[in-house]
Amino acid sequence: MSIYDALGGEPAIRAVVDDLADRLAADALLGPLFEGVDHQALQRHRVSYLAAVLGGPEQYLGQSMRDAHRPFRLTDVHMERFLQLAGEALDAAGVAPEAARAMLDLLDRLRPVIVDPNAGGEVSRPSSEP
């Protein structure tokens, strides 16, 4: 059984992503990164990406994780906070512990392409200019 199926398929992933989005927006560390972002478009990307990487039928056609996150100069501190909030969202959705752990492990394996090894403590907001 895929992680996608173990989580409960698209409805469960959508519920987790919606809850996680609320947690991210309210978070003092990560929330400012989402100011001025098209939240509906971001939610669609998140659901599509997670469904694809968790073994679902969806296909992800967005930016690579490296390209999408590089402008923010994220650190391990940011990644740890994201994983904590994702874990809380999975728990709140009633996802079985084994499925939640599998998803968190998969997300943590993205660390090398999300975290900028050259970033200091500062997080940059990408420029809106082309």
**For the chain, what is the mean pLDDT?**
87
CB proximity list for 18: less than 8 A, separation 6 or greater: 43
Residue 130 domain-assigned (yes or no): no
Residue 77 domain-assigned (yes or no): yes
Residue 120 domain-assigned (yes or no): no
pLDDT 10s digits, 93-111: 999 999 999 999 999 999 9
Q: Which residue has the tokens 């998140």?
A: 46
Residue 36 Cα to chain centre, angstroms: 17
Residue 42 domain-assigned (yes or no): yes
For 21, the token pair is: 């989005």
What average pLDDT score do residues 53-77 get? 87
Low-confidence winner among 8-22, 49-63, 89-103, 114-128 (lowest mean pLDDT): 114-128
Whole-number Å distance between alpha carbons of 104 and 112:
15
What average pLDDT score do residues 74-90 get? 96
Domain span at 66: 3-114
Residue 129 domain-assigned (yes or no): no
pTM score: 0.85
Q: How many domains does the chain have?
A: 1
Q: What is the CATH number of the domain that holds 80?
A: 1.10.490.10
